[in-house]
Amino acid sequence: MAENRTSEYTEGVPCWVDVQLPDVEAGKRFYGGLFGWTFDDAGGGAVWARLDGVAVARLARKRDGRMPTVWTVYFATPDVRDLARRILAVGGRIVNDPVPVGDLGTAALAADPTGAVFGLWQAAGHPGFGVRHAPGGFAWAQLYTSDPDTADAFYGHLFTAALFGAGAEPDVGRAPVTEVFAAGMPSQFVVHFRTGDVGAAVGAVLELGGRVQAPPFETSYGKVAVVTDNQGATFALLQR
């Protein structure tokens, strides 16, 4: 069931995703064709992606060709600077220091001790997803890690309430990196979008110029395929 127009997220809950692309217009064609997203200007060459008029993601233009073409998941926090200090204290690192994003909120990028990069979001005018769990919307973030024990200790310490608190229903999990990627690949989060038919969605990805990294397989949280878009950004399709 869709969770509509959520306005607040507990610290440690995935609250937003964005993707850095060389060509935003090509990204609009790909994701519009795949998920039925519509788009409007977000400033600076970026666009909001909307599902039935509600914000579900942001597509941004890479400003430096050396940057990865990648989807990033952002975890909610009421105090991004305090969370950044706690990340450092438990062995993580801060990739980009907290910076205000207009009147929308404050963002930062961090990395866990195994090297997986993730975002932090302290909301102001932009609370995060307007809808989750609906077909075409965010459904899950899976950490593929080179060191599951270290990752468990890190996130369990930082986000105890979101992962293990009373009533917690996490939208995040973890698996060994080799479950999908070749040995030696860096640890990474893979953003999952929900689909009603993962096989048909994989077919659409191929027709739109993407490719398949891992064909549909069963997991504890649904049937998943890991794919890349027409510019090389990895994401997953989740049928549940």
What is d(CA 230, CA 233) in angstroms, rounded to the nearest whole number? 8
Q: Is the pLDDT of residue 64 over 90?
A: no
Task: Determine the pLDDT at residue 66.
Answer: 84
Q: What is the DSSP letter of 106?
A: E
Cβ-based neighbours of 162, under 8 Å, separated by 6 or more: 10, 11, 12, 13, 168, 170
Q: Is the pLDDT of residue 210 over 90?
A: yes
| Structure confidence by residue, pLDDT tens digits, 117-169 | 999 999 999 999 999 999 999 999 999 999 999 999 999 999 999 999 988 89
Task: Determine the pLDDT at residue 4.
Answer: 37
| Residue 104 binned pLDDT confidence (cut-offs 50, 70, 90) | very high
Q: What would the mean pLDDT of 99-107 be, rounded to a whole number?
A: 95
| Residue 22 binned pLDDT confidence (cut-offs 50, 70, 90) | very high
Mean pLDDT (the chain, rounded)? 94
Q: What percent of the chain has pLDDT over 90?
A: 92
Task: Determine the pLDDT at residue 23.
Answer: 97
Instruction: Indicate the SS3 state at residue 47.
Output: strand
Give me the residues paired with residue 17 across strands: 73
Task: Determine the pLDDT at residue 65.
Answer: 80
Q: Report the chain's terminal Cα–Cα distance, integer Å.
A: 10
Q: Is the pLDDT of residue 6 over 60?
A: no
Q: Please, what is the Cα angle at 169 between 180 and 201, to 5 degrees?
A: 45
Task: Determine the pLDDT at residue 2.
Answer: 39
Q: Tell me if the pTM is above 0.75.
A: yes
Q: Which residue in 116, 40, 42, 22 sits closest to 75, CA to CA? A: 116
